[in-house]
Amino acid sequence: MKQLYDQRISCPHCGHHIFVSLDASEGDQDYYEDCAACCNPIHLNMHIDYAINKLELRVDADDEQVF
């Protein structure tokens, strides 16, 4: 599996497209990156499935509310 990836994602707040660099050598990751356009935080959750050699990236606004 490749270790470094560049991925284009859309900001869940404003829809602006940004590029993020993903480093698969560190395993699963959960982190925040700020949007360059609206400055809101973007929650990125990266999971590596070694069984099928696949990297999955979940992008959300992390503003889900529980009532």
In a domain, 40, yes or no: yes
Question: CA-to-CA distance for 38 and 66, rounded, in angstroms?
Answer: 25
In a domain, 65, yes or no: yes
Residue 60 lies in domain:
27-67
The whole-number pLDDT of residue 65 equals 57
The whole-number pLDDT of residue 47 equals 95
The whole-number pLDDT of residue 64 equals 67
Q: Give, for all 67 residues of the chain, the pLDDT tens digit.
A: 578 889 999 999 999 999 999 998 889 999 999 999 999 999 999 999 989 989 999 999 977 655 4
In a domain, 50, yes or no: yes
Supply φ then ψ for residue 26, to 5 degrees.
-95, 0
CB 20 within 8 A of CB 31: no
In a domain, 3, yes or no: no
